[in-house]
Structure 1
Amino acid sequence: MDIINILAINNWEKASLEDLSASLKEKNKSLITYSWRNFNKELSPLSLYKLLKAKFGVANGICMFSKSETTENLIHWHYTFIVEKNEIHFLGKSSGIEILLKLLPDIKFEKNDWTILIDNIKSSYSQNGESMKRIQSDFEKYTLFINPFSRLKDTLTSQVEELKILDIKEIQRIDAFNASDKEREEYYKSFCKLPQKQDSLKVDK
């Protein structure tokens, strides 16, 4: 089997528990690993997840066994597929999508083959559009709202920071009769700036 057939979605089979166990054993260390990350956002994590779930069911990767029922997981979903002893891993991480190919040494793989895989995935969206819509309709719905206490805290914090930046110390008084011309000039400049600083402290209502 060549790389073209390995990257063809219709040839993928979900890895069984036996396959997952075998992939952790020493005998599979001979597989050569190639990694791709979605740096340029060629793939939508949501669309990819809907496709994989619509076509193959729930995620089955080894990372799912340690996943907690919260949004704080580093890896949110993980699919593993087997194509004649070669492995394909899809990981939905907080930082984005990562795809791992673990191939037998005799499989020739080139950098441009990632484009073939991405194109295969994108072309599958239209073929599985109805199933993907049904998957999305089952997603848990969330309602977003603005926390007024958090907003108040942010406002106060911002104003306190502005107060710290402003130099509102009282102007040091001078003896006008004994001060030099330079000291009187500096005092006058500081005195003129005082109303500007006070205006900066006013809060718009």
Structure 2
Amino acid sequence: MKKNKINIDKLIYLDQRIVVNEFQQKTSIIKRDKDYTLWVDINNIKPVDLYCYLQARFGKPNGMQSLFREYDSSNLIHWDYTFDYEGYRITIMCMTYRIEIHKSIDFQDQKYAKDEFIKDLKDDFRNYGKKISTFRTKVETWHLFINPFKRIKTAIDSNFVELDNLKINEIKYPEFNKFNNRTKKEMSIAGEKFSKANTLGINISLTLPIYAEAFINFLIFTLAKVNAYENKEDYESFIRSPINERMRNLHLKCKHFHCAVDYNNNEACKEFQSIMNIRNEMLHGNVNPNTNHFDTVYFDDRTPLFAKFTDLAFDSYLASQTGIEYHTLLTRYESIQNFISYVLTCLELNAAKQIMDMLDEPYPGWNPKTKRLGKLFADKAIDFQIDIGKKIKIIN
């Protein structure tokens, strides 16, 4: 007769040696109903709560996959438990994206049985509340956050690709002595490209110094001798000080610097400061005809005297790129990379390597208790569905 639900009080935690032996022998004494049904759950129970409950009630994971897992966070299956249930086997395993419950038990209503099983487990948490709380004290808390340095770098690189694809420098000056519909269409296309290039160029120009400042602030957050949690006022004062001040004080305020940053004399630092100055001019919308002029025209009273015949419309397109040309921006980008490289050479070798690894991590973890940064997961998560070798009915 098909069952209605699982009685969680009858779950028996197996010695892992039994689990291994049954796997090796593929023993036939284990009860199996005709259909193999896989229950999948994503939103009805928190994996951390279920894990702590199973640890508190039964002990360490005893499933087969627990023997194969590497001592890191990049496993296909992170933990699994195998139980005896009236001669049947029930395995609960946690993947990266879901909980899977494997068993060979027929139920009158599989969806109902699954929902009741999870509900009963959650209701049983209160019976092990003290043990669960004790175990939770051993569990580390890590907050995933967005690395501003990596995010800004990704945006800059994307903008550079878009800008390069526009091929602005390959747009030819129109032949206005042969002005026709074709020329008009070419001018329209050129205008759209220059408009897009102008937007991208301004974005890159304004963002490059922010990219460098994100690097500086990442260093301070990671290496500061007094962090924001110990002395907020001192930390905030340092992080908000002018760039040149911050750079000169890095070796005094932060750990693992084997020498001071020679901000006033190093060429990479000088170039970076120049880029900061350009950014400030743009940021404040300063008007400067001396640096932004693109042509000269003479007037005798109200009579224009041209030095050469040009097309003001097309020349204005060209002028929109002044100071934000692709190669100009690329040179500034390289200058900032040189600046970052120079500052890293002022760090002790091991510290520099760790900082470089963390800078490249888009979603690092932060442990608020130990004040540690960490890379919690591999760059790519792998997922799969176990093939049991027979038709499987999956209940979500």
TMscore range, shorter length: 0.7 to 0.9
**Among candidates 37, 40, 48, match of residue 37 of structure 1:** 40
Alignment of 1:39-78 (within 5 A): 39=42, 41-78=43-80
Q: Counterpart of 1:94 in 2: which secondary structure?
A: coil
Q: 1:71 offset after TM fit, Å?
A: 0.6
Q: Counterpart of 2:57 in 1: which secondary structure?
A: helix
Q: Counterpart in 1 of 2:239?
A: none
Q: 1:174 offset after TM fit, Å?
A: 3.9
* Pairing 1:96–2:135 present: no
The one-letter code of the counterpart of 1:171 is: I
Q: Tell me the distance in 1 between the aligned counterparts of 2:7 and 2:82.
A: 15
Q: 1:56 offset after TM fit, Å?
A: 0.5
Q: Tell me the distance in 1 between the aligned counterparts of 2:189 and 2:135.
A: 67
Alignment of 1:128-143 (within 5 A): 128-142=128-142
Kept after mapping to 2: 8 A contact 1:22/1:28? no
Query: Per the alignment, do residues 135 and 192 of structure 1 end up closer, same or farther by CA in structure 2, a change over 3 Å counting?
Result: same
Whichever structure has more strand as a proportion of its residues is 1
Q: Tell me the distance in 2 between the aligned counterparts of 1:23 and 1:194.
A: 64
Taking structure 1 as the reference length, the TM-score comes to: 0.79
Kept after mapping to 1: 8 A contact 2:19/2:63? no
Taking structure 2 as the reference length, the TM-score comes to: 0.44
Kept after mapping to 1: 8 A contact 2:14/2:83? yes
Q: Tell me the distance in 1 between the aligned counterparts of 2:19 and 2:81.
A: 13
Q: 1:137 offset after TM fit, Å?
A: 1.1
- Higher mean alpha-carbon deviation, 120-129 vs 89-98, is at 120-129
Q: Counterpart in 2 of 1:18?
A: 18
Q: Counterpart in 2 of 1:127?
A: 127
Q: Tell me the distance in 2 between the aligned counterparts of 1:124 and 1:58.
A: 18
Q: 1:47 offset after TM fit, Å?
A: 1.1
Q: 1:34 offset after TM fit, Å?
A: 2.2
Kept after mapping to 2: 8 A contact 1:9/1:121? yes
Q: Tell me the distance in 1 between the aligned counterparts of 2:108 and 2:29.
A: 18
Q: Tell me the distance in 2 between the aligned counterparts of 1:3 and 1:89.
A: 18
Q: Counterpart in 1 of 2:154?
A: 154
Q: Counterpart of 1:80 in 2: which secondary structure?
A: strand
Q: 1:136 offset after TM fit, Å?
A: 1.5
- Higher mean alpha-carbon deviation, 113-122 vs 162-171, is at 162-171
Kept after mapping to 2: 8 A contact 1:91/1:99? yes
CA RMSD of aligned residues (A): 3.0
- Deviation string for 1:142-201 (max 9, x for gaps)? 465765663453233222233145452443234433x14324433553565565245312
